Amino acid sequence: MTVLLNTEPLSFDTVNLELILRLLTPTLIVLGSFVLGFLVERQGIRRLQNLTTRLGWGGADVIINSLKGLILLWFVLGGIFVAVLTLPISNNLFIVIQKALLALAIVSGTLIAARLAVGSVRYVSETRGAGNLSSLFEMLTRIVVFTLGVLIILQSLGIAITPLLTALGIGGVSLGLAFQSTLANFISGLNLATSNKVRVGDYIQLDSGEEGYVRDIAWRHTVLQDIRDNLMFVPNSRVLNNVFKNYGLPDKEALIIIDVGVSYSSDLEKIEALTLAIAHEVMNEVEGGVPNSDPWIRYKEFGYFAVTMTVYLRIREYFDHLIVRHEFIKRLHQRFRQEGIEMPFPIQTTFLSDLEEGNGGRPAKSTTAEESVLSFLQQDE
Give the residues across from 206 on adjacent strands: 244
Average pLDDT over residues 223-245: 85
Asked if 289 and 316 touch (Cβ cutoff 8 Å), the reply is yes
Asked if 114 and 150 touch (Cβ cutoff 8 Å), the reply is no
Closest among 137, 107, 95 to 119, alpha carbons compared: 137
Distance CA 263, CA 344 (A): 6
For the segment 76-102, what is each residue's pLDDT rounded down to a tens digit? 888 888 888 877 778 888 888 888 888
Q: What is the pLDDT of residue 2?
A: 43
Closest among 317, 260, 257 to 287, alpha carbons compared: 317
Low-confidence winner among 8-17, 174-183, 259-268 (lowest mean pLDDT): 8-17
Average pLDDT over residues 199-213: 85
Please report, for the chain, the start and end positions of each structural domain, with discontinuous segments joined by +.
Answer: 12-172, 180-246, 254-339, 347-380
Instruction: Kindly tell me if the per-residue pLDDT of 55 is higher than 90.
Output: no
The answer for 116, left when phi > 0, alpha when psi is -120 to 50, beta otherwise, is: alpha
Average pLDDT over residues 301-322: 88
Q: What is the pLDDT of residue 290?
A: 87
pTM of model > 0.85:
no
Q: In what order do the strands lie in the sheet with 211-217?
A: 231-235, 221-225, 211-217, 203-206, 244-246
Closest among 46, 192, 43 to 131, alpha carbons compared: 192
Closest among 220, 219, 202 to 211, alpha carbons compared: 202
Q: What is the pLDDT of residue 208?
A: 83
Q: What is the pLDDT of residue 173?
A: 62
For the segment 162-195, what is each residue's pLDDT rounded down to a tens digit? 776 676 666 666 665 555 677 777 788 777 777 7
Distance CA 193, CA 200 (A): 9
- DSSP H stretches of helix in the chain: 12-55, 60-67, 70-85, 91-127, 135-156, 162-178, 180-195, 236-241, 268-285, 321-339, 369-380
Average pLDDT over residues 6-24: 58
Q: What does the CA dihedral 121, 123, 129, 132 come to, rounded to 10 degrees?
A: 70
For the segment 316-326, what is each residue's pLDDT rounded down to a tens digit? 888 888 899 99
Q: What is the pLDDT of residue 1?
A: 39
CA 36 to each of CA 31, 88, 374: distance values in angstroms, whole numbers, following the listed order:
9, 25, 92
Closest among 61, 318, 59 to 201, alpha carbons compared: 318
Residue 240 neighbours by CB under 8 Å, 6+ apart? 188, 191, 192
**For domain 180-246, is the CATH number 2.60.40.1220?**
no
For the segment 33-53, what is each residue's pLDDT rounded down to a tens digit? 888 888 877 777 777 777 766
* Residue 177: CA count within 13 A, CB half-sphere: 5
- Correct CATH for 254-339 of 3.40.309.10, 3.30.70.100, 3.40.640.10, 3.40.50.300: 3.30.70.100
Amino acid identity of residue 13, one-letter, is: D
Instruction: Kindly tell me if the per-residue pLDDT of 251 is higher than 60.
Output: yes
Amino acid identity of residue 29, one-letter, is: I
Q: What is the pLDDT of residue 276?
A: 92
For the segment 337-363, what is each residue's pLDDT rounded down to a tens digit? 898 888 887 765 555 555 444 455 444
